[in-house]
Structure 1
Amino acid sequence: MNISMLLQMSAQTFPSRIALTYNSEHYSYKQIYDAAQQAAQVFQYSGCSFIAYLDVNTPAVPIAIFAAAIAGIPYVPLNYRLSKSELESLQARLDKAYVISNQVPEFSLPDYTYQLTDAFYQNMLAAGETDEALHPATDSEESIAVQLFTSGTTGTPKAALLQHKHLMSYILNTVQFAAAAETDATLVSVPPYHIAGISAMLSSFYSGRRIVHMENFDAMEWISLCDREKVTQAFVVPTMLSEIMVKHKQKRQSLDSLQAIAYGGGKMPLRTIEEALQRFPNVNFANAYGLTETSSTVCLLSPEQHREAFKSDRPEMRNRLQSVGKPVPGIELQIRNDENQSLAAGQVGEVFLRGDQISGKYREKELVQYDGWFPTCDHGYIDKGGYLYLTGRADDIIVRGGENISPGEIEAVIRESPAISDVAVVGIADEHWGESIAAAIVLAEGHSIRDDEISVAVTEKLRSSRVPKKIVRMKHLPYNEMGKLLRRKVKLLLE
């Protein structure tokens, strides 16, 4: 199946239902479908090889991605926050691209077509129904639906490839068609170039849930938009939820319509989710773990599992609030060591995944093994109940005197102190040990803590070899817009 079927089914089932709200304007499923059909013909006529989108969330996003699917052309959302040189480098890797952007760039590339975002979606919507609808090729499920450039924090960004079959597998295994009520609305504030934004859009269109687009995240505006548009669902990253909690306490708006919040993209501080569960007892919280290469969510800590852990007095149960839950339907999971051997519960190793929604393919190479297993480069372990805990990325591991040390276990101990608002542990060069441990800490407002108190806590919970040799206090830690800690930046600041 082709992902355009998600829109077509909803447009046929409830054509007049509102699919998208943007700047207080409402667009129905039929309007979006007709606009996508018009755009698909424009794309085909242009002879382009890629559809590139370079802008914030607008109605052009669903029109472009579904039109690209109908036309059989890969959709490539680009990070508008990148520098001019970084964008030039990425666009140079796209031959004959049709670029939808909020401004025509100063530089131009041969065989490129540029279209201003507002003009694109307004013209497509105004055109109305086509005389003859286009239909995707019958074998289109094997073709590339979306190409996403990775963040590139460890080098040149890779071009991750998601075929129609990968995205459709995720949707069909996790979303029920037309399950949403007409009053349901999901607030999408994550950027359109991230897999979370794409999966939120596809799942909402398939379920029949209205999307409320937010151009750029602002905590106060997020709260106001929830109340104004009667938002029922939302996806946030941990840093977003932390800011929302602070602003909500100041603004004291009801958020009565909010029924569910999914979060992911980074590690959620335990105190933040505990406070959220206490403040919003009627909201269903879910922790979603996924990767670009896996077409979004592969593990989920459900609302019921959140409440069960939050109410429990047993440490092993309470600790599950720090897990990412269990695999979603259609996903197999293993923890393996460096010799590619499967590990038992409680043992830390690399997370491997297998399932129809997993691509693991890039324009440059393919990482999926011959038997379908994908090495995520994430490290973690599974507890006896089957819950997955992440301890960090493979390239985050600190090698001290030949011993592999996970920053996550040290961060978890330091974070237990009420004096610590945030912490990042990294390895820095050491002539004797090769690497030694350094910690950047952010103090909670009105608190202080001595270095020796941190050392004692780490020694008691772990051992002396895990004690940071260097501790630096910072006003805040560097995160990207999706809430991922930029550990390499921390390392540069501490070395």
Structure 2
Amino acid sequence: MNIGMILDMAASAGSRSVLTVGDRSLSAADLLDCARRAAPRFHEHSAVLYLGANHLAYPVALFGAVLAGVPFVPLNYRLGDTQLRALLDRHPGALVLRPADLDALVAADPGRPAAPELPTPWDADSVAVILYTSGTTSAPKAALLRHRHLMAYLLNTVEFGAAATTDAALVSVPPYHIAGLTNLLSNLYAGRRVVYLSAFDPAEWLATVRRERITQAMLVPTMLARIVAEVDGPDAGTPTLATLAYGGSRMPRPVLDRALRVFPETGFVNAYGLTETASSVAVLGPADHRAAATSADPLVRDRLGSVGRPLPGIEFEIRSAAGEPVAPGDTGLVFVRGEQISGEYGGRSVLDADGWFPTADLGRLDAAGYLFIEGRADDTIIRGGENIAPAEIEDVLLEYPGISEAAVIGVPDPEWGQRLIAVVVGVGDQARIKQWVKDRLRSSKTPDAIVFRTELPKTDTGKLLRRDLVAEMENTHA
């Protein structure tokens, strides 16, 4: 199967709008017509590189590339010239769609005949999309997503045409993010109108939810933090918002607690996935959020910090450094397996012989199968021979009054191997903050220094650039 079937099915289901950006909309039939017109031009190139923000032309470019039988490659248009040129050079013979080219892809011409239907290559094993990983700890890698990976995700998690005709999903993440791609595909497949924000702004996000009567939305944690800070009063005033999904990085508990209060009628979903897994592989659903938030059982309440349980067709395994499965509750390396898992970079697969993908995340499974992510394996700090996960310390720091963001890193130390440096956004007394951590953890996990910042370095999708902090602190605190 090929993801082009999603558009064919959507176009046969009616003439209502399926895409909205600002005051412009497209029906599925319009989208199919525009994609068919673009395909012959795209077919002359090795790939279609999309270099723009959210726009009606984004789905046209995606499906035009599908019809042309060439990979679609959305790139981060915010990159500097040197970084961007390095990515462009990796795709010789590709067509580059820049902002000035986008309007032409959706230009209206009511008098022209419908575009001819072209023979579509339906090879499920061909590359549909190439997405570059965010590269928070290393250089970005080109993750290959084949049609079969994306279709496996959709067929296992979404029911065709199940959405109500009034349903609308607000997409704020950029088009080069895996959630930008799969939100488009899954909502088209479900029959839900997709409303795009060209650029994220918390006030505009709230206004759009109200104006467009949005029923579903997906955000990264930094976006949700800005939205809850924008809400003036006890309620966000978004009565149509039935579901709010978040993911892409760790959610600070204070932000989630505040969000649960200001969106009292909204069901929250924590979605865990990676670019290489073709979107979400685990979900903590609304019922789980409600149960955890109100339970007196500490084990159940702790699940509010989990990413939930595996989606249909997905398996998890937690392994030791030696590669052996560990017991429930023990921390280890997270491996995932399923039909939607790609685990492939530029034609090189990193799946093991049994199809397991190494996520490079540290985590644990509780007895009920809930997955807790405890950070990246390469973030682990080794102090005095003890492996320390920064996430555990960061969670305690975020509970301290006056601290809104925290990142813990290790810098070289001649005696202990590494020293702990906590970089925080907020205010407070260093000695009291250290004592706060010591009282809740122990001396070996107490930061040696607290560094205050007005902000932490992040990617534009909200992921912490830990490598930038490490480089800075090694020069000033090592």
Specify if TM > 0.5: yes
Report SS of the residue matched to 2:330.
coil
Shift of 1:208: 0.7
User: 1:55-114 deviations in whole A, cap 9, x for unaligned?
Assistant: 0000111111112112211000000010011111100000211111114xxxxxxxxxxx
Stretch moving more, 118-127 or 294-303: 118-127
Report deviation, 1:153. Answer: 3.1
Alignment partner of 1:135 is 2:114: no
Identity %: 47
1:60 aligns with one of 57, 62, 70:
57
- What is the TM-score normalised by the length of structure 1? 0.92
Indicate conservation of the 8 Å contact 2:127/2:145, yes or no: yes
Mapped partners of 1:154, 1:318: distance in 2: 32
What is aligned with 1:266? 249
Quick check: 1:288 aligned with 2:271?
yes
CA contact (8 A) 2:396 2:437 kept: yes
Q: Which amino acid aligns with 2:118?
A: L
CA distance in 1, matches of 2:61, 2:96: 10
- For 1:137, the aligned partner's letter is P
Q: Tell me the CA shift for residue 494 of structure 1.
A: 2.7
Aligned counterparts of 1:320 and 1:435: Cα–Cα separation in 2? 31
8 Å Cα contact 1:39-1:124 kept in structure 2 = no
Q: 1:457 aligned to 2:455?
A: no
Alignment equivalent of 2:72, drawn from 70, 75, 94 = 75
User: Deviation at 1:135?
Assistant: 3.4
For 1:400, give the aligned amino acid.
R
- 1:337-486 pair list within 5 angstroms: 337-363=320-346, 365-443=348-426, 448-486=427-465
Between 268-277 and 281-290, the greater mean CA deviation after superposition: 268-277
> Conserved in 2, the CA contact under 8 Å of 1:17 and 1:28?
yes
- Please tell me whether the aligned partners of residues 31 and 128 of structure 1 are also in contact (alpha carbons under 8 angstroms): no
Aligned pairs for 1:284-363 within 5 A: 284-363=267-346
Pick closer, same or farther for the CA change 1:276–1:22 going to 2, 3 Å.
Answer: same
Structure 1, 450-459 or 189-198: larger mean CA deviation: 450-459
Q: Is 1:121 matched up with 2:106?
A: yes
1:87 pairs with 2:84: yes
**Is the contact made by 1:173 and 1:329 (CA closer than 8 Å) also made in structure 2?**
yes
Q: Give the whole-Å Cα distance in 2 for the aligned partners of 1:185 and 1:356.
A: 28
Determine the C-alpha separation between the residues in 2 that align with 1:364 and 1:159. Answer: 9
Question: Are residues 1:23 and 2:19 paired?
Answer: no
Answer whether contact 1:54 1:102 (CA < 8 A) is retained. yes
CA gap of 1:474–1:195, structure 2 versus 1, over 3 A, is: same
* Kept in 1: contact 2:277–2:343 (CA 8 A): yes
Q: Counterpart of 1:240 in 2: which secondary structure?
A: helix
Describe the superposition over 1:234-275 as per-residue Cα deviations: whole angstroms up to 9, x where unpaired. Answer: 100111111111112279762122111000011111121112
Q: 1:34 is aligned with what amino acid?
A: D
Residue correspondence of structure 1 range 211-250 to structure 2 within 5 A: 211-249=194-232
Q: 1:128 to 1:244 in 2, by over 3 A?
A: farther
2:134 aligned with 1:151: yes
CA deviations on 1:315-336 (whole Å, 9 max, x unpaired) are 2211111110011001000111
Distance 1:389 1:404 in 2: 17
Q: Offset at 1:128?
A: 5.4
Which of 96, 100, 119 is 2:97 aligned to?
100
Higher deviation after alignment, 255-264 or 192-201: 255-264
SS at structure 1 position matched to 2:162: coil
Q: Does the 8 Å CA contact 2:157/2:311 hold for their aligned counterparts?
A: yes
Change (3 A) 1:312 1:11: same
Alignment partners' CA distance in 1, 2:30 and 2:358: 41
Distance, in Å, in 2 between the alignment partners of 1:63 and 1:342 is 45
Deviations 1:336-382 (A, max 9, x none): 11111011111111100000000000116321111100000011111
1-structure distance, mates of 2:112, 2:302: 54
CA–CA separation in structure 1 for the residues paired with 2:111 and 2:353: 49
Alpha-carbon contact 1:4-1:67 (below 8 Å) kept: no
Task: Give the CA RMSD over aligned residues.
Answer: 1.7
Aligned partners of 1:341 and 1:128: how far apart in 2? 62
> Once the 2 structures are TM-superposed, how far is the Cα of residue 24 of structure 1 from its aligned partner?
1.2
Tell me the SS of whatever aligns to 2:375.
strand
Closer, same or farther: CA 250–81 of 1 in aligned 2, 3 Å:
farther
2 CA distance for matches of 1:470 and 1:252?
38
TM-score (norm. length: structure 2): 0.96
Inter-partner Cα distance in structure 2 for 1:408 and 1:156: 23
**Contact (CA 8 Å) 2:236, 2:262: kept in 1 or not?**
no
Give the letter aligned to residue 237 of structure 1. V
Deviation at 1:22, TM superposition (A): 1.2
Letter matched to residue 67 of structure 1: G
Shift in CA distance, 386/127, structure 1 to aligned 2, threshold 3 Å: farther
Contact 2:169–2:194 (8 Å) recurs in 1 = yes
Compute the displacement of 1:2 (Å): 0.2
Determine the C-alpha separation between the residues in 1 that align with 2:93 and 2:254.
49
Is this contact kept in 2: 1:36–1:124, CA < 8 A?
no
Determine the C-alpha separation between the residues in 2 that align with 1:196 and 1:394.
23
Q: Deviations over 1:446-465 (max 9, x none)?
A: xx533233333333332211
Question: Which portions of structure 1, spanning 4 or more consecutive aligned residues, are displaced by more than 4 angstroms?
Answer: 123-128, 250-253
Mark the CA change 1:207 to 1:466 in structure 2 (over 3 Å): closer, same or farther.
same
- Pairwise CA distance, 1:175: 0.5
Residues 331, 349 of structure 1: alpha-carbon distance in 2 compared, 3 angstrom cutoff = same
User: 1:124 and 1:95 mapped to 2: Cα distance?
Assistant: 33
Contiguous gaps of at least 5 residues in structure 2: none
SS, match of residue 141 in structure 1: coil
Partner SS, residue 107 of structure 2: helix
Q: Give 1:297 shift.
A: 0.1
Q: In structure 2, what is the Cα distance between the partners aligned to 1:127 and 1:38? A: 11
Aligned residues: 474
